[in-house]
Structure 1
Amino acid sequence: MKKRSIKNTRVNNEVAKELTTIIRNVKDPRVSEWVTVTHAEVAPDLKTAKAYVSVLGDEKQKEDTLKGLKSAHGYIRSELARSINMRNTPEITFLLDESIEYGVAMSKKIDDVIKGDDDVN
């Protein structure tokens, strides 16, 4: 399976969707209730996957959520195997996705510049 194939794209989307559902059921108190799987990248051989998560909160909440997800790795993987019928259930690595915060910060900076230009004129 090619990395950019339609099948791989569908697998990535389905894994991200299922991980979001599974993470909502994780009972670890470290895992924030404001966590979202932004996207997943499953390797073409279906053995590994990177799950990019976005956490609404401060740095401590983000770190705690990642620790909680790593701790619940076995549960998450077994639930993924149960919900998606795949030849191999991928080994999941959770990574923090800060693109949403970056986009909000850039948008705020642009608004500040536009407001500054309006004040000058």
Structure 2
Amino acid sequence: MPKEYSRSQRVVEQIRRELAELIRLEVKDPRVGFITLTDVEITPDYAHAKVFFTSMTGEADVPEIQQGLRRASGFLRRELGRRIRIHTIPELHFHYDRSVEEGSRLSRLIDDVVREDEARHQDEAGETDPKSADDDGSAKS
């Protein structure tokens, strides 16, 4: 059974898709060339949209990317108005999405803890060598 979405969810997804295409194909500013749009949040009155992005070049370039996106926001909003038929085209506010980097950082931490735990279990298993145990299960001195 298909999942039902509210109108605002459909609008948000369409805005994200259209903006991604516009940025990729129409925006000529080289500062915004290597980004991925991760999410869009829109106010109930459609007046404002927070557009979240990640950068393939890393967090160091984020200020320049945001400046490029701000400069292109008027063009992007105008083009959205031509592509999407809604009563109000939202003002675009671009925000760097740290969730992907934070997720990667947490994943690395978990991997490190798992490796440490496995190493500790191997060390403990090495201390109780089965060859040094008597028939009654006690270790020889």
Q: Which has the higher relative contact order, 1 or 2, with Cα contacts under 8 A spaced 6 or more apart?
A: 1
Cα drift, residue 83 of structure 1? 1.2
Task: State the Cα deviation string for residues 4-54 of structure 1 (Å, max 9, x = none).
Answer: x811111111111111111113111221x3211111111111111111111
TM-score (norm 1): 0.89
Q: Which runs of 5+ in 2 are unaligned?
A: 122-141
Is structure 2 residue 111 aligned with structure 1 residue 111?
yes
Following superposition of structure 1 onto structure 2, how do residues 13-52 of structure 1 map, counting pairs within 5 Å?
13-24=13-24, 25-31=26-32, 33-52=33-52
Q: Which runs of 5+ in 1 are unaligned?
A: none
The CA distance in 2 between the partners of 1:75 and 1:28, in whole Å, is 12
| 2:136 alignment counterpart | none
Cα drift, residue 98 of structure 1? 0.8
Runs of 4+ in 1 over 4 A off after TM superposition: none
Higher Rg of the two aligned structures: 2
Which residue identity is paired with 1:79? E
The CA distance in 1 between the partners of 2:79 and 2:29, in whole Å, is 15
What number of residue pairs does the alignment pair up? 116
The alignment yields a C-alpha RMSD, in angstroms, of 1.3
Percent of aligned positions with the same letter in both sequences? 36
Cα drift, residue 120 of structure 1? 1.1
Task: State the Cα deviation string for residues 48-106 of structure 1 (Å, max 9, x = none).
Answer: 11111111223332221111000111111111111111111111100111100100110
The CA distance in 1 between the partners of 2:63 and 2:55, in whole Å, is 9
